[in-house]
Amino acid sequence: MMTRSSHRRISSLLVATVAAALALTGLSTSPAMAQGADQVVNGSFDSGTAPWWWTGNSPAAVADGQLCATVPAGTVNPWDAIIGQNDIPLISGESYALTFTASATAQVSVRANVQLADPPFTPEISQAVLLGPEPQQLSFTFTSQTDTQTGQVAFQIGGAAESWSFCIDDVSLIGGVAPPVYQPDTGPRVRVNQVGYLPDGPKRATLVSEGPQPLPWQLRDAAGAVVATGMTTPRGMDAASGQSVHTIDFSAHTAAGSGYTLSADGETSFPFDIAGDIYRQLRSDALQFFYIQRSGIAIDGALVGQQYARPAGHLGVAPNQGDTDVPCQPGLCDYRLDVRGGWYDAGDHGKYVVNGGIATAQLLGAFERTKTAPTATPGALEDSTLRVPERGNGVPDVLDEARWELEFMLRMQVPAGRLLAGMVHHKMHDAMWTGLPLQPQADPQPRELHPVSTAATLNLAAVAAQAARLFAPYDAAFAAQSLAAARTAFAAAKAHPAMFASDADGTGGGAYGDADVSDEFYWAATELYLTTGEQAFLAELTSSPHHTADVFAPSGFSWPSMAALARLDLATVPSGLPAADRQRVRASVVAGADAYLATLRAEAYGLPMPGDADFYFWGGNSNILNNVVVLATAYDLTGNVAYREGALEGVDYIFGRNALNHSYVTGYGEASSQNQHTRIYSHQLDPNLPNPPPGSISGGANAGLQDPIAERLLTGCAPQFCYIDDIESYSTNEVAINWNSALSWVASFLADQGRAEATAPASCQVRYSIAGEWPGGFLTVVTLVNRGSQALDGWHLAWSFTGAQRVTQMWNAVAAQSGARVTATNAEWNRRIPPGQSVVLGFLGTTWGANPAPELLTVDGAVCSALSGE
C-alpha cells in the first residue's frame, strides 16, 4: 500500500503525454478555464466513502487516505467495473475542471468520465488514462453541453485480463455554480402525529405561523365534516426549529375514526386516525426489525416478506470470510473464536457488544414489563406473537429474538485458560470499511476480533444475568449457562476494571469508546442482584455512587450511560431491596419523569428533550424515546395519568409532529423515512433492493452534521432541520439495533394503552406472604379480599414469578402454571366471595435464586391492590 505522501507525487511524463493527446481532441489539461464550486462531495475521502459507490465486483474501502478497490480479472469492457459519484449538477455552457490523483498496481488504462447517471449515459468527457504504481495527478477541463442535476463522475476500471488494485484521491470537479440551497419539503404547516392519537389520550398539534394572536382551527372527519373547533395557543419563537409556532389542543375530541385532518391558517394537516389500536402493529414491526438484522441465518421471506429474504451471511460461504473462526487483530491474541449469530448492529456488517447489550436488555425489559405493569397486555409477547422462526417452541418469541444476540455475546467471552479469561471482546467487524449497497452474504472482507473491554464485559454480565431469570421458566439449562457467564464476566471486570475501548479504533467499524464504566458496574450488579438475591451483589449496587445520584440526564440514556436502565429495573422488578431504599428508587424515577414532563411542556413541538443544538445529536431519536420510557415507567409505578399523557405526547415528535413534518419510522405516517443508511436495504442505490422494513427508526436530526451529505446540504440548519432522508447521510439517517430497541419498548407500552380494561378500578386486595424458605423451596400463603360491591362468583387469581419459581402443590385453589405465569382458580367450596369477604390459599414451590413476592396480582384481569398487615 502506498503512503499518503508518496501518492501525492506527480509523473511529469504521463501528464505531458496526456496533454499532447488532449491537444489533438480540443480538451485541455489546465483547470484555468474553470472557476466556481466543487461539485464533488468528499473527494478527499476524509469522511469515509460516502457518497461514492462502486460495482459489486470491485468493492472499495478507504486505505491510507485513498479510496482503493480490487478489480477482478477477466472483465471485458471498461464499464464492467466502476467507481463513481452521482447527483453531480452540470450547467450547459459552463466550464469545469475534473482533477484527481490515481494509481494502479499494474500498467492499465482506465477511463475518467463525467456523464449522465442514467441511460443513455451521455458523456461530457470520457478520457482514457494510463496508470501505473506511481500516483499521478491529472486534470481535464471541458464545457458542459447539458443542464442536469443527475450527472455522474465515473472511473471505469474494467477490461483487464488480470486482477489489479486501483486507488484514487483528491477528486474534484470545479466549475458551474454552487449547488442550490437545500430546501426540504415540509408539507402543510399544521404538524400532527401522522399515525394518530388514542381516543382517551392527549391530542396536540403544532401550527407554524408568524401570527401573534390565537387563530381558529377545525378538526374534520374523513367525509370533510367539521367535528371540533377551537383557537390555537401562540408559543412564539421555537429555538429547536427556528419557527414561530402555535399549539393546537383537540384532546376533548374522543370519537374514534380514520382519515381525520386538522386545519388552521389556511393549511390542512396530513391525515391521521383516532383509535385504540393505532400502535398494535408497530409493536410487531419494531421487533421484526431484529430478525431481519440477524447474522448467520437465512432470512425467511415467508415470515417477513420475500423482498427481505436473503441467504445467511458470514458463515464462511464465499465470498464471506465467515464468523465461525475469527482471529484477533494482529498481535492481539493467539486464539480464534466462533462468533457467529447476533444482529448486524447498524448500517454496516459489524457486531458490537455494547450496542447489543442495551438492545438486548430493552427487548428483555419489554417482556419483563408484562410481568410488572398494570396496563401491560397479558400474553402480548408470548410464544407465536412475532414473526420469528422459533415461534411455536413454547418460549416467548421476544425471548427467542433476544437469545439470538445474547448467544453471540456469550461467544465473544475469552475462554477459560486464556489470558484475560472471562473478559469480553468489545466488537468484531470487517478489517476495512465497505461501501453501499452490500448484502451480508456478499461481504468479502476478512473479519477481526477487537480488544476486550471492561464495558463489554459488564454488558455481558448485566444482560446474561437478566436473561437468566427470564429464561429460567422456559429453558433451565440456558438460564444456568447465562448466569454462570454473568458471574464470570463480573469477576473478570472486577479484576480488570479499566480496560477501555479506544476511540481511535474506528477502521472498518465504529469505535464505541467509553472511559467511564462505573455505570456499567452499577447495572451489572443490579441485574445480578435481581436474579440471585445475593447480598454481595446488593452491597455492590448500593455502594455505587450511581445508586443515589440523579441518573436521568436531560439528554436521556444510551449505550455509554446505563445507570438509568439499572434504576428502572430496580424500581419495577420485585426484589428484596430494603423497603425505604426501594421507595427512594421509585421516587427517583418519578422525579426524573417530572423533569422530562416539564421539558415536554416547555417545548413547542411537545418532546421530552431540550431545544438547544447540543441535544440534537447522532441517534438522538433513541434518547428521546428513552426519556419516554422513563415517563411510561413512572405511569406504571404510580398510575398518575399525567405521566401516561407525557409518554403519549412524547412520541408525537417521532411520528411527524416536528419541524420537518416527517415521521422517522419507515411505513408509519404519510411522509416517513424510506432511505435510511444501511448496506442491506439500499433501494435508493439499487432498485432491486427493498427500503428498510416497516418499523425501522432513523437516528434523526443531528446538529453535528458528521457526514458529507449532511455537511453539504444542511450547514446552518436549525436543530430540528438537521436531517435528510438520504441513504448517504449516516449521521442523521442510519438504522441501529439500540435505536429500534428503544422504539420496541415504547411501542409495546403504546400498544397496551389502547386497552379500555387496563384502567379499570381495583375491586380486590391481595396479601402474598412467603411463610417459609429453605434451599430450593418455599411456602406461600395468599389472602384474597373482595372489595367490590358484587360477589365474586368464580375467580381466577393470576401473577407472574420473577424467575425460576414453580408451584408444586396448592390448596384451596387449583394451580396452573405456564412459564412464569401462575393462575389459581377457585375450588368448588370457595368459588363465591361475597363483598368484603376473603379466601385464603397456600402453596409449596421450588426455586433457585431470588424469590421476591410478586407485586402485580390480578383477579379476572382486574389489578388488585396490596393488602397491608401480617
**CA–CA distance, 597 with 593 (Å, rounded to integer):** 6
Cis peptide before 180 (omega within 30 of 0): no
The grid coordinates listed for 422 are 472471562
Q: Which domains does the chain have, with CATH numbers?
A: 6-175 (2.60.120.260), 190-274 (2.60.40.10), 294-516 (1.50.10.10), 760-866 (2.60.40.290)
**CA–CA distance, 679 with 673 (Å, rounded to integer):** 16
Residue 799 contacts by C-beta under 8 Å, 6 or more apart in sequence? 768, 821, 822, 854, 856, 857, 858
Sheet holding 427-430, edge to edge: 351-352, 427-430, 447-449
**CA–CA distance, 158 with 73 (Å, rounded to integer):** 9
Burial annotation 42-78 (CB, 10 A radius, 16+ → b, else e): bbebebbbbbbbbbeebbbbbbebbbbbbbbeebeeb
Place of cell 379499570: 760
Asked whether the beta carbons of 635 and 644 are under 8 A apart, the reply is yes
HEC profile for 646-695?
A: HHHHHCCCCECCCCCCCECECCCCCCECCCCECCCCCCCCCCCCCCCCCC
**CA–CA distance, 24 with 362 (Å, rounded to integer):** 67
Q: Where are the alpha helices (DSSP H) in 543-615?
A: 563-572, 579-602
**CA–CA distance, 345 with 327 (Å, rounded to integer):** 20
Q: What is the pLDDT of residue 378?
A: 86
Taking CA 675 as the corner, what is the angle to CA 670 and CA 676, rounded to the nearest 5 degrees?
Answer: 110
Question: Crossing angle for the helix pair 563-572 and 620-638, nearest 10 degrees?
Answer: 20
Instruction: Return the bridge partners of 152, or none.
Output: 115
- Residue 294's closest CA among 385, 361, 356, 338? 356
Residue 330 contacts by C-beta under 8 Å, 6 or more apart in sequence? none
Place of cell 419510522: 665
Instruction: Return the bridge partners of 70, or none.
Output: 165
Asked whether the beta carbons of 433 and 62 are under 8 A apart, the reply is yes
HEC profile for 1-43?
A: CCCCCHHHCCCHHHHHHHHHHHHHHCCECCHHHCCCCECCCCC
Residue 110 contacts by C-beta under 8 Å, 6 or more apart in sequence? 78, 102, 104, 128, 129, 131, 155, 156, 157, 166
Q: What is the pLDDT of residue 182?
A: 86
- Residue 623's closest CA among 362, 346, 364? 362
In which residue ranges of the chain is pLDDT below 50?
1-34, 870
Model-level pTM? 0.86
Instruction: Return the bridge partners of 825, or none.
Output: 796, 814
**CA–CA distance, 399 with 378 (Å, rounded to integer):** 15
Residues annotated catalytic, as ranges: 348, 677, 725, 734
Asked whether the beta carbons of 679 and 671 are under 8 A apart, the reply is no
Other beta carbons within 10 Å of 334 = 9
Place of cell 430540528: 720
**CA–CA distance, 209 with 194 (Å, rounded to integer):** 20
Q: What is the pLDDT of residue 756?
A: 58
Taking CA 857 as the corner, what is the angle to CA 840 and CA 383, rounded to the nearest 5 degrees?
Answer: 125
